[in-house]
Chains A and B, each alone.
Chain A
Amino acid sequence: NAGVTQTPKFRILKIGQSMTLQCAQDMNHNYMYWYRQDPGMGLKLIYYSVGAGITDKGEVPNGYNVSRSTTEDFPLRLELAAPSQTSVYFCASQPGGARGYTFGSGTRLTVV
């Protein structure tokens, strides 16, 4: 099992550019999440999904969009990148119930 796979691992964007962070899981988990982690700020939920075709906003959704066309994939789209979006982004999945999240290895994004 690969678990949760995120790509790319690193990316530098210019202000105003767009990009998609990819996330795929092979554990057949219904629940998937996107977090950002900034130094001293803890993990902040951007978007989440409870199953294919269903997404919802988390704490900090502005500037981001998601889709969930399949159980496996949960891409995060950044439109018009801003320096405030410089962060480490983690995708996670969970089967539901009292189970831990499985996190991907993260994407380090810098917007300059």
Chain B
Amino acid sequence: GQNIDQPTEMTATEGAIVQINCTYQTSGFNGLFWYQQHAGEAPTFLSYNVLDGLEEKGRFSSFLSRSKGYSYLLLKELQMKDSASYLCAVNAGNNRKLIWGLGTSLAVNP
């Protein structure tokens, strides 16, 4: 079957670093997306990893290991506005039917 696992909730302190993990088991793999979704709003695109390794975009970085079926999103210098749900989604061979995780709700405390 197709499965994506993410922790349900995480908490962190403003200014700190947090790592949100995503593990996947899918019949195929063409890439992995990370999206941010604030409460009551639409998801917004953060990153797309196709090859192994770390990709950095400002305060946010995303890592992929295809052999381990594992990815993480790293958020540095946390700000209160980073409190949101973070969704992991896998392109399992058909870009038109992504497999979505249930999301990790991150609370950033002062």
Mark A residues whose CB is within 8 Å of B.
31, 33, 40-43, 45, 48, 50, 56, 58-59, 90, 94, 96-106
Chain A residues near B89 (CB-CB < 8 A): 43
- Given the known interface contacts A90-B43, A105-B41, the answer about A99 and B87 at a Cβ–Cβ threshold of 8 Å is no
* In the bound complex, CA of A40 to CA of B105 (Å): 11
Contact B96 A42 (CB under 8 A): no
Contact A106 B42 (CB under 8 A): yes
B44 within 8 Å of A (CB atoms):
yes
Mark B residues whose CB is within 8 Å of A.
31, 33, 35, 41-46, 48, 50, 87, 89, 95-98, 100-103
Residue of B44, B48, B96, B100 near A103 (CB, 8 A) is B44
Subset of 24 A-B contacts with CB under 8 Å: A40-B102, A41-B102, A42-B87, A42-B100, A42-B102, A42-B103, A43-B87, A50-B96, A90-B42, A90-B43, A96-B95, A97-B95, A98-B31, A98-B48, A99-B48, A100-B35, A100-B45, A100-B48, A101-B43, A102-B45, A103-B42, A103-B43, A104-B42, A106-B41
Contact A48 B103 (CB under 8 A): no
Chain A residues near B50 (CB-CB < 8 A): 98
Chain B residues near A56 (CB-CB < 8 A): 96
Contact B42 A48 (CB under 8 A): no
Extra A-B contacts (8), CB below 8 Å, given A40-B102, A42-B101, A43-B87:
A42-B87, A43-B89, A48-B97, A96-B95, A98-B31, A100-B46, A104-B42, A106-B42
Chain A residues near B43 (CB-CB < 8 A): 43, 90, 101, 103
**A41 — nearest CB in chain B belongs to which residue?**
B102
Chain B residues near A101 (CB-CB < 8 A): 33, 35, 43, 45
Highest count of chain A CB atoms <10 Å: which of B33, B42, B95, B98: B42
**B6 — nearest CB in chain A belongs to which residue?**
A42
**B43 — nearest CB in chain A belongs to which residue?**
A103
**B30 — nearest CB in chain A belongs to which residue?**
A98
- Chain B min CB distance to A8 (Å): 15
